[in-house]
Amino acid sequence: MVFGITAAECAIALAYIMFNKKDPIEAGIWLLKSYHKEYPLERREVELMPNLVIARLCQSVLSSAYSSAQDPDNAYISVSEKDAWVLLEYLLSRPMHHTRARFLLACGFQPDEDPQASELLAHRHDNIS
């Protein structure tokens, strides 16, 4: 038997299911909803899920780079490196709050309001009044 962090297992699965998808977030939502149905995650775990996926992708590309340097003739070592970089760049180019909100909604949690959006709306209100 293995004892591990439930959210980390889900994040690893998400990282790989999101590879090469037209809408990686939607693919992730499909898996996350299914996972959450069988192994319920806490709200905080779902909130952290985008960060955990990014952490997994970082670990993957770093491991690939290290292993490639150790054994440059082994093509298998870097089989998923390109896909990991593409997904990592995609996720980092998006507002984290949007991904987090979509993941929360998929698991039945109400997302918090984006703090930056609240500040922007308050600023606009002050300038309009």
pLDDT in tens, 110-124: 998 766 666 666 667
Q: How far, CA to CA in Å, does 97 sit from each of 15, 49, 76, 109, 120?
A: 18, 11, 35, 14, 15
What does the pLDDT look like over 43-58, one tens digit per residue? Answer: 999 999 999 999 999 9
Angle of helix 43-70 versus helix 24-38 axis, rounded to 10: 120
Query: How is the chain split into domains, by residue range?
Result: 6-128
| Dist CA 50 CA 97 (whole Å) | 9
Q: Which two tokens stand for residue 107?
A: 């698991």
Helix or strand or coil: residue 71?
A: coil
What digits encode the pLDDT tens for the residues 68-109? Answer: 888 888 877 778 889 999 999 999 999 999 999 999 999 999
